[in-house]
Structure formats: structure tokens, C-alpha cells
Amino acid sequence: MSEKISTGQFLLLVTLFTIGTSIFSLPASLAAEAKQDGWIAVIIGIGIGLFMVWIFTKLGDACPQMTLIEINIFAFGKLIGSFISIMLVFISLIAVAELLFYMGNFMITNLMPETPIEAFNIIYIIVVIIGLRLGIETIGRTVEILFPWVILLFMMLVLFSFPQIKLENIQPVFEAGGKSIFRAAITFSATSHFPFIYLFMIYPSLVNNVKKAKNAFFIGTIIGGIVVLITTLLSIAILGEAQTARFQYPSFVLTKKISVGDFIQRIEAIIATLWIFTIYFKMSLYFYCGVTGIAKLLKLDDYRSLVIPLGMIVTALSFIVYPNTVYMSKWDREIWIPISLLLGFVLPLLLLGIAKIKRNKSAM
């Protein structure tokens, strides 16, 4: 019996996948590109994300009950389809290693500088491995438990930050120009929306109500986008665009400025806990897609035997994937965005077009 998740669980997974690392590090990239108009770029990026969700739902209709691996082989044939699938799987595992580095680097930079990064990466991947060994249904139930805490922590961040807002920091509006704002919007979508293609290892085949899941896909994208929008707006409105762009984790710096009376101060743990939750689910989904993708390509009945060895591999990769934070920023800006555009925008359009043509021919 195959695993299934509910529509509500899928909505929450889409929401947290959208938020992912964006709530922590993305405001810096947006402010660097679009200055004080970075929040406008998020709004445009949400529109791009909704367009991509529309493409993905149409692809799901054209290839019902197929996973991403099966869609690739159906559209391009066994040889080319398998090659594309291998490339997608490889990049998903690299993404897991990158996320592990993000988490470990943040912990040793901001919270526990005397603890080696290896300790954080190993502990975190163990939790991810446990989740995947228990299955996607368990991950779905876990997100139902933790999502209310994510919302509560986020609301606390917004509430306590509100008195620090300086509206002059987001003025004048549209000063950055259309090109800069659009480039920033693409940066947002490359992080949060184009990777939705990996959700095709779950949608529509593992969701128990595909019709309702379509709406859940759209709603999750909007909710996640709103969270990123508010975080970006707060960062720029409180820190200013120059400081937002300068700090690697501006939303974390934001919490250091919170001061309500003499008893609510320095609540960095709020944003740290929030990020630990969101990055866990994004990492778990990337890892699930990579592991199940390899299992599909190797025609294995169960992916669980691959979880531990691949977990060890991505942990080792996390120590070498980024030599330093300067390399990380350059990779994310110059390499990841084109890769994300190719795999998360161009590829789904090709898959949808070819699938439609093949379905029409078979119906004749």
C-alpha cells in the first residue's frame, strides 16, 4: 500500500517549502538588487510562483499518478528521460548539502561559535533521516504539529518588530527601476517557486484528493509568499536597504533590535527556531525527492534502504559544497538561479507541451 498525505498536509508542506531559507537570507539579496523596493519584487515573485503552480497543476492533469521520474521518461523516452532525471536527483541531493551548510554556518556564526559545524550538520541530518525512514505520511503529520508553532513564532516576530518600523526606509517607491525589481523577483522565485518541480515526486500521486490539492498548491504558495513579503518589508523598513543588503541574515539581526519595555529584548531564538522548522521541511522534501528518484531509476520497491547511505553522502558534501560564504553568495547568485530557471521553468513547460502532444496523439 502506497503512502498518502492529506490535502491539508500538502498545503502546509508547500507553504513551508516556499518559506524555506527565504525568510532568513533572501531579504539581503532582494535589497542588494532592488534596494528599498525589494518587497515589491516579492509581490511580483508571488505572481510568478502562481503561474508556475498553474503550469504544474496542468502537468499533473496531463500525467495523473505519475512521479517526476515517470513524467520525464514518458515525455522524452527512456534514455533522455533517465538522463534528465539523474540530473534532477543529483541537484536535489546537492540542495540538501547546501541547506545543511546554511544551517550549520548560521549556528556557528550567530549562536554557538565554539561548536564545530560538523556537530550541527550531523545532528540535523539524523533528524531528517529519521523522518524519511518513517515515511512521507509521518512527515505530513509532523508538519501539522509544527506549523502552528511556525505561525505563532512569526506573529511574535511581526508584533514585537512593528514599533521599530520607519516608513521612510521604504521610500521612494519604484526608485530601483523595473529591471532591478524584476531581477530580484526572479531571485525570489528561483529560491522558492521554480524548485516546486521536485514536489512532483509527491503531487499528484501521493495526495489523497488531487482536485482539492490543486487549490492547496495555490493557497500554500500565497501564504508562503506573504510570510516572505512581510519579513522582507520588516527588514527594509527597520534596518534600511543598505544594512539589509549588508547582513547575511537580516531577519536575525532584526530580532536584536526588538525592545519592548525592559522585559522583551534580544529574542533571537524566535527567528532561529522558526528557521530551523522551515528549513527542516524544505530539506526533507528535497531529500525525499532525491532518494525516491534514485529508487525509481533503480526500480527498487522501497527507497528506505537508500536513506542512511545517501544521508552520509550529503553530510560529507555539506562540508565541501561551499568553501566559504563568499563562494556561497556567488554560487547562489550566478549558478543556482540559471539552474533553477532551466529545471524549474523551462523543463516543466517542455514536459507539459510534449505530454499534451502525446496524449492528443494517443487519443486520435
Q: pLDDT tens digits for 204-252?
A: 888 888 888 999 999 999 999 999 999 999 888 888 888 888 887 887 7
CA angle 313, 139, 150 (to 5 degrees): 105
> What pLDDT score does 15 carry?
93
Q: Which string of DSSP letters, residue by residue, matches 218-259?
A: HHHHHHHHHHHHHHHHHHHHHH-HHHHHH-SSHHHHHHHT-E
Q: Which string of DSSP letters, residue by residue, matches 286-344?
A: HHHHHHHHHHHHTT-S-SHHHHHHHHHHHHHHHTTS-SSHHHHHHHIIIIIHHHHHIII
For residue 176, report the phi and psi dihedrals to the nearest 5 degrees: -70, -25
1: pLDDT strictly greater than 70: no
**C-alpha cell of residue 287:** 531529500
Contacts (Cβ under 8 Å, ≥6 apart) of 206: 2, 3, 4, 5, 136
SS3 (DSSP) at 93: helix
Contacts (Cβ under 8 Å, ≥6 apart) of 222: 46, 50
Kindly list the domain boundaries of the chain, sorted by start residue.
7-343
Instruction: Give kind and range of the element (H or E) at residue 355.
Output: helix 347-363
Alpha-helix residue ranges (DSSP H) falling in 63-135: 68-76, 78-106, 117-134
Q: pLDDT tens digits for 151-189?
A: 988 888 888 888 788 888 888 888 878 888 999 999 999
Q: Do 218 and 52 form a contact (C-beta atoms < 8 A)?
A: no
Q: What is the mean pLDDT of the chain?
A: 87
How far is the CA of 253 from the CAs of 142, 238, 328, in angstroms? 29, 10, 20
Q: Which residue is it, cell 493557497?
A: 219
> What pLDDT score does 259 carry?
64
Instruction: Report the predicted TM-score, pTM, of the whole model to 2 decimal places.
Output: 0.91
Instruction: Give kind and range of the element (H or E) at residue 40.
Output: helix 38-62
Percent of the chain predicted with pLDDT > 70: 95
The arrangement of secondary structure in 7-343, i.e. its CATH architecture, is: Up-down Bundle (1.20)
Q: What is the mean pLDDT of residues 333-360?
A: 87
Does 79 or 25 have the greater pLDDT score?
Answer: 79
SS3 (DSSP) at 264: strand
274: pLDDT strictly greater than 90: no
Percent of the chain predicted with pLDDT > 90: 38
Q: Which amino acid is at 128?
A: V
Residue among 318, 311, 286 nearest 108 (CA): 318
**Rounded CA Rg of the chain:** 20
Q: Give Dmax over CA atoms of the chain in angstroms.
A: 74
| DSSP letter assigned to residue 66 | -
**C-alpha cell of residue 109:** 556564526
Q: What is the mean pLDDT of residues 325-353?
A: 87
The rounded Cα 164 to chain-centroid distance in angstroms is 28
Q: pLDDT tens digits for 337-347?
A: 899 999 999 99
Q: Which string of DSSP letters, residue by residue, matches 43-64?
A: HHHHHHHHHHHHHHHHHHHHST
**C-alpha cell of residue 86:** 539523474
Does 44 or 326 have the greater pLDDT score?
Answer: 44
291: pLDDT strictly greater than 90: yes
Q: Do 118 and 298 form a contact (C-beta atoms < 8 A)?
A: no
Residue among 74, 79, 89, 48 nearest 351 (CA): 74
> What pLDDT score does 309 carry?
93
pLDDT band at 93 (very low <50, low <70, confident <90, very high): very high
pLDDT band at 12 (very low <50, low <70, confident <90, very high): very high
Residue among 88, 340, 334, 48 nearest 194 (CA): 340
Q: Do 282 and 24 form a contact (C-beta atoms < 8 A)?
A: no
Q: Do 236 and 27 form a contact (C-beta atoms < 8 A)?
A: yes
Does 130 or 65 have the greater pLDDT score?
Answer: 130
> What pLDDT score does 53 carry?
93
Q: What is the mean pLDDT of residues 106-130?
A: 88
Q: What is the mean pLDDT of residues 22-36?
A: 85
> What pLDDT score does 11 carry?
94
10: pLDDT strictly greater than 70: yes
Residue among 62, 88, 11 nearest 346 (CA): 88
